[in-house]
Amino acid sequence: MTLPSLPEGYRAAVFGASGGIGEALVNALASDERCALIHAGSRSSPLPETARVKPFTFDLEDESSIASAAGQIAAGEIDLVIVATGRLHAPGLQPEKSTRSLEATALHEAFAINTIGPALIAKHMLPRLARNRRAIFAALSARVGSISDNRLGGWHSYRASKAALNMLIRTFAIEQARTHPQTVCVALHPGTVDTPLSKPFQSGVATEKLFTPALSATRLLAVLDTLTPAQSGRLFAWDGQEITP
């Protein structure tokens, strides 16, 4: 996997590097000889350090830890930032089947992880992107965060938190264009990937629609490589198709 649209010796940062997709993204980037360095961030169990992979830890719910992680990266020296974090279910957090299932604590958790955390990463990382050359900021979102595509209802907290993330990406892109006109800032839908996040919901997924993390990572990077600043602020699926808000 190579990203020829980025300069030779480009530098990347992946937040959520210990997750299924995040780790696959780090591995895909590490296989690109044109990539000089990958900052790989996780809350726990950091990836092994290598000549080109530099692990760091951060807490998605602690802005000071995000700021500290960003401080390790010199401004203007990062070309690619991917936020590969997200939460669909956990103890006390399950996708709601109806409005009757809504709980304030679940809503708070969904927004803290799926919206606020990525927004704070953007706050501290967008200013560090290369200013005078192509750069990319991407965050994993979901098709279910599309308001116009919502025909089934349910999954209220997850849908709303991802819809809010999509709006933030749009807003970041508008602001970034004023200072970093060559930046691409987008949200990505990885499809249904065989990870713990999707594990309880895979029974109805056709085999050919259930992707390995490695395949998903390769496809997402391929999509990023084709996007232009004119497409900034939008949500794109793993196959390159734009998903309407």
The angle subtended at Cα 12 by Cα 63 and Cα 135, nearest 5°, is 95
DSSP code for 97? S
For residue 29, the model assigns a pLDDT of 98
pLDDT of 197 above 80:
no
Structure tokens at 202: 């895979």
For residue 205, the model assigns a pLDDT of 65
End-to-end CA distance of the chain: 29
The span from the CA of 217 to the CA of 12, in Å, is 14
pLDDT of 30 above 70:
yes
Q: How confident is the model at residue 1 (pLDDT cuts 50, 70, 90)?
A: confident
DSSP code for 141? -
pLDDT of 209 above 90:
no
For residue 202, the model assigns a pLDDT of 58
Output the average pLDDT for the chain.
93
pLDDT of 206 above 70:
no
Please state which of the four CATH numbers 1.10.3720.10, 3.90.580.10, 3.40.50.720, 3.40.50.1220 is assigned to the domain occupying 10-243.
Answer: 3.40.50.720
- The sign of the torsion formed by the CA atoms of 117, 164, 156, 199 equals negative
11, 85, 16, 84: which is closest to 53 by C-alpha?
11
Global pTM reads: 0.95
**Three-state SS at 143:** helix
Domain ranges of the chain: 10-243
pLDDT of 16 above 70:
yes
pLDDT of 53 above 90:
yes
List, for residues 109-122, the tens digit of each pLDDT value.
Answer: 999 999 999 999 99
List, for residues 68-97, the tens digit of each pLDDT value.
Answer: 999 988 788 899 999 999 999 888 889 999
137, 119, 157, 150: which is closest to 244 by C-alpha?
150
